[in-house]
Amino acid sequence: MAIETLEEVRARVFAMPKPKCPACGQEMSIYEVPSINFGDGLGWGEPFLFVCFNDECPLYRSGWEHIQENYAHTASYRQMCYPSSGVFEVMTVFGHDGGKGQVVDDEVRRAEEALKENIKRGFNLLAQAYVDKDGVVVLRLLMDPTEPVRVRIKAAEMIGDIGELEAIEPVRNLRVGNEKLQGAIDAAVLHIHDRFFTRECPFCAEIIKRRAKVCKHCGRDVSGV
Ligand SMILES: [Zn+2]
Ligand SMILES: [Zn+2]
């Protein structure tokens, strides 16, 4: 069996249904094991675990007392589960937030919040550019692969509405992995042609008048095509 990269393990664990905590019944969270524990004597041998972070979980609540009585230090247990085998175990935590720093669910939530912010920012820029008829800003947002797809789709629609003929060349050459975005890009090119009563010469790909019978660039007969 091939050795998985951390990203592959992450993708696999994320795709798994999250188990329910046997102690409280609540859905468990994905926990990224801190690298300091991974591989040493404390390590669990897996980079991700499922952990119950329910503070009302009876295992966690009774754990404080149990450990205090038996081991004379302040700690408790959280229910955990190995993704590789589905085996349930308990992990010791030494404070209320013990282990919580690395809950991947929180990372995902933060990433989603950042995405929302970026979409808002992009839409504001686009709205202003649309009012200003500033095709350069719209084009820049459309071309930028780090912009959220929703922003780029909106930019494609706008460049169709306000883009000049010069915008066709860069837009037409844009190839993206997202099907919806590619569809919006292709539609934008057609929309610009519509507004300027132009089309692409099927022979040389230069922009010509829609009703042209002969291409002014390559001289071919384009009346029937
Ligand atoms: Zn629980
Ligand atoms: Zn031509």
Residue 41, amino acid: G
Q: Give how far the C-alpha of residue 142 lies from the chain's centroid of Cα atoms, to the nearest Å.
A: 17
> How far is the centre of ligand 1, averaged over its atoms, from the C-alpha of 82 (Å)?
15
Question: Locate tokens 């175990």: which residue?
Answer: 89
Across all residues in the chain, what is the average pLDDT?
85
Which pLDDT does position 41 carry in this prediction? Answer: 35
Nearest ligand to the CA atom of 222: 2
Nearest ligand to the CA atom of 27: 1
Give the separation between CA 28 and CA 13, rounded to whole angstroms: 12
> How far is the centre of ligand 1, averaged over its atoms, from the C-alpha of 7 (Å)?
27
Q: Which residues surround ligand 2, an ion (CB under 5 A)?
A: 201, 203-204, 215, 217-218
Query: What global pTM score does this model have?
Result: 0.56
Per-residue pLDDT tens digits for 22-42:
999 999 999 887 654 433 334
Give the separation between CA 178 and CA 173, rounded to whole angstroms: 15
Domain limits of the chain?
A: 6-102, 118-209
Burial class (CB in 10 A: 0-12, 13-18, 19+), 208: buried
Which pLDDT does position 179 carry in this prediction? Answer: 80
> How far is the centre of ligand 2, averaged over its atoms, from the C-alpha of 203 (Å)?
5
